[in-house]
Amino acid sequence: MQDRYTGDVGDFGKFGLLRALCRQDDGPPLRLGVVWFLVPDESHNEDGKHTKYLDGSPRFRNCDPELYDELQRLLLDDFGKVVPTRRRVATIEGSNVLPAGTVFFGDPLRQDGTPLKDRVSVRTEWLARALNVTGQADVVFVDPDNGIECQSVSRAARAGPKYIFWDEVKAFAARGQTVVIYHHLSRVCSSAEQVRLLRLELSSRVPVGFTTLDVVFRRGTRRAYFVAAAASHRDALARRLSRMLTTPWATHFIRAD
């Protein structure tokens, strides 16, 4: 995650999904924890520019009016223009975007200036802090810039902070927490095939009894969300996700298969 992405159309989908999964008016409340995987802003591309959805479009507002109006309030000036300095994860943390009681871990995950030999230990310490902050959460959302690890990027590589690695996912799941993972889909193969392969891999990485759910958000660049649902949360999460896909959100989210 980069601060400059805050509040773009991808974030709208992300927050909508988390609100639907952790809603407090449908069965047992599930406390949310967010691990941002925050990396420094880049400037080599125009990612994060998709904010026109905040122009009052009912196509988006009808999905979740409360979320939509809150993002408008947070990010727009009196003339309806996005204020760049407000586009920070700290803005979201101090708002009503996510459910009451959500805990956030926003320590930057960066390796610039860290000797290669020390990068793994620095990251291990960072993860330990993230685990500590989110220890009382039922559902932990992890938000790496690119998504789940790939073979070409190691943990100590310069781009390592942009990925979550399987053992890090397992560290949360091993405590009985449901883990929701952001993943940016590539053009290597079809979205459906990428999701299928990652679904299978995730299922093999989490403890017995977990159920893997997934959905793809198709506005802006396509991104997948994988839900490794703990047994105690499975029924509620499956029901809430299915219900979400019968609402106006269904024009923006699809099942990959």
d(CA 65, CA 121): 43
Cα–Cα distance list, 112 to 106, 115, 116, 156, 255 (Å): 17, 8, 10, 11, 38
Confidence (pLDDT) at 48: 46
**CATH code where residue 191 lies:** 3.40.50
Burial 92-114 (b: 16+ CB within 10 A, else e): beeeebbbeebbbbbeebebeee
Residue 54 lies in a domain: no
Residue 205 lies in a domain: yes
Q: Name the stretches of the chain with pLDDT < 70.
A: 42-48, 256-257
Confidence (pLDDT) at 221: 78
Q: Which residue has the tokens 């809150």?
A: 70
Residue 166 lies in a domain: yes
Residue 239 lies in a domain: yes
Number of H helices, E strands in the chain: 8, 9
Residue 250 lies in a domain: yes
CA dihedral 39, 44, 50, 52 (to 10 degrees): 120
Residue 68 lies in a domain: no
d(CA 22, CA 240): 9
Please state the domain count of the chain: 1
Residue 63 lies in a domain: no
Range of the domain at 180: 3-49+87-254
